Amino acid sequence: MEVNSLTAMAILVLASYIFFYLPASRLRGVLVLIMLGIIGYALVATVAEMPTFGASANPPHNEVYQRYLHQAVEDTGAINAIAAIITDYRAFDTLGEVTVLFTAIAAALSNLKAH
């Protein structure tokens, strides 16, 4: 399936413009459907081209994957490879994640208390 995603992208950009300026109406509904249809077509065309689902030769199963499985126990001492990743290999992400939770608390509390 040939697809020019750039048209889809341009329409996505224009779409958001229209959504926020057109009042809710039937016309807006139709326009939204048409635009989402085009975006959906582009995405479906991408799905048809993606690496096969579940194949062990897919690009993500590369040396990084091998290292995480074969050396995680030796590197981190954790049997659960996911725990090894979130708290050791990529612990900075987890710090960010904890911070997101804290930000949500701070944001929600400040908003609830301010009014």
Partner 1 sequence: MNLNYEHLPVIIVALLLLAAFLEPIVYRHKKSWAAPLVIASMAFFALSSLYLMAAVNYHGPFNYYLGGWAPPFGIELEIDYLAVFLLLTFSVIGLIAIVYGLQDLKHGLKDEVLGWYFTLYLLLMASMAGISVTNDLFNMYVFVEISAISACAIISIKESRECIEASLKYLILSTLGSGCILLATAMLYMITGHLNIGYLNDVLPRVMSHYPNNILISLGFFVVGYGVKAALFPLHVWLPDAHTAAPSPSSAVLSGLVIKVYAAAFLKVFLKAYPREIFLEIPVMEIVLFLSVLAILYGSIVAMVQEDIKKMLAYSSIAQIGYVFLGFSLMGQRAVAGGLLHIFNHAMMKSMLFLAAGIIIYSTGIRRIRDMKGLGVKLPLTMGAFTIGALSMVGIPGTNGFISKWQLALGALDLGRPIIVVVILLSSLLNCLYYMPIVINAFFGVKGEPELEIGKVPGVMLYSILFLGFGIIFFGIYPAPLLAFLQKTVTAIL
Partner 2 sequence: MIDIEVLSKLFNNYYYFAAIILFIIGFHTMLTHANLIKKIIGMNIMETAAFLIFVSIGYIEGGRAPILDEGFDQIYMNPLPQALILTGIVVAVSVTAYALSLIIKLYQHYGTVDADEIARIRSYKP
Partner 3 sequence: MEDLLVRIICRLVVPFVQLYGLYVITHGHLSPGGGFAGGAIVGASMILFALAFNLEAGSRKLSHDISLLMESGGAIGFILAGFVAMLLGQNFLTNKAAGFPLGVPGNLFSSGAIFFFSVAIGFKVGSTMCTLFYNLIEGSDRHRSSE
Tell the residue number behind the tokens 């341009």, with chain if given: 10
Considering only residues 48 to 77 of the shown chain, the ones binding partner 1 according to CB under 8 A are: 49-51, 58-65, 67-68
Q: How far is the CB of 7 from partner 2 (least distance, A)?
A: 16
Tell whether residue 80 is a contact of partner 1 (CB under 8 A): no
Rounded to whole angstroms, the Cα distance separating 47 from 5 reads 13
Is residue 42 a contact partner of residue 50, using CB atoms and an 8 Å limit? Answer: no
Q: Choosing among partner 3, partner 2, partner 1, none, which partner's interface includes residue 77 (Cβ < 5 to 8 Å by kind)?
A: partner 3
Considering only residues 66 to 105 of the shown chain, the ones binding partner 2 according to CB under 8 A are: 68-70, 72-73, 79-82, 84-86, 90, 93-94, 96-97, 100-101, 103-104
Q: Choosing among partner 3, partner 1, partner 2, none, which partner's interface includes residue 3 (Cβ < 5 to 8 Å by kind)?
A: partner 1
* 30 φ/ψ sector (left φ>0, alpha ψ -120 to 50, else beta): alpha
Q: Which residues contact 80 (CB under 8 A, 6 or more apart)?
A: none
- Which pairs from 50-58 meet CB under 8 Å and 24+ separation? none
Is residue 88 a contact partner of residue 76, using CB atoms and an 8 Å limit? Answer: yes
Interface positions with partner 1 (CB under 8 A): 3, 5-6, 8-10, 12-14, 16-17, 20-21, 42-43, 45-46, 49-51, 58-65, 67-68, 88-93, 95-97, 99-100, 102-104, 106-107, 109-111, 113-115
